[in-house]
Amino acid sequence: MDAERWWPPFVEVVAIVWIALFVVDVAITFEVLVVSESLEGTVRGALQWLFVVFLLDLVFLYRWSEKGPRGFVRSNWFLILTVVPWFRPFRLLRIGRSIRALRLLTGSRRVGSFLNKVRGKCHSLWRRLRD
């Protein structure tokens, strides 16, 4: 099937967009980012619609598998857990290529610098939230 080829990369892109919107939503909630009410509603609405893609992903994976419901759940419990979008980055841990690509990216001067800045911002935000 053609959909079996393009669907997984599409869902991974949707996951990255969802994570970015989730970060924006958290920043809006903690008033780190101030936006209009309409933009806030748009972000939350987009998060809800993107969640539907994750549910469809699970449905498609079940249909494409040749197992019954019990066998599918037993053999894909980790995959089912990653339907919840904030667990989705853990799916990348299963893929050796992604880990190798991340190592290559962090070795790059520009990307490594960017990741260090992001890490620093996350660390300072965490300290601010903790205090």
Q: Are 60 and 3 in contact (CB under 8 A)?
A: yes
Q: Which uninterrupted H or E stretch holds 32? A: none
**pLDDT tens-digit series, residues 5-59:** 888 888 888 888 888 898 898 888 888 889 999 999 999 999 889 888 888 988 8
pTM of the full structure: 0.58
**pLDDT tens-digit series, residues 63-95:** 888 888 888 888 877 777 766 655 655 555 554
What pLDDT does residue 75 have? 84
Residues 96, 113: Cα–Cα separation, whole Å: 23
What pLDDT does residue 100 have? 56
Q: Are 65 and 72 in contact (CB under 8 A)?
A: yes
CB atoms within 10 A of CB 49: 11
Q: Are 119 and 113 in contact (CB under 8 A)?
A: no
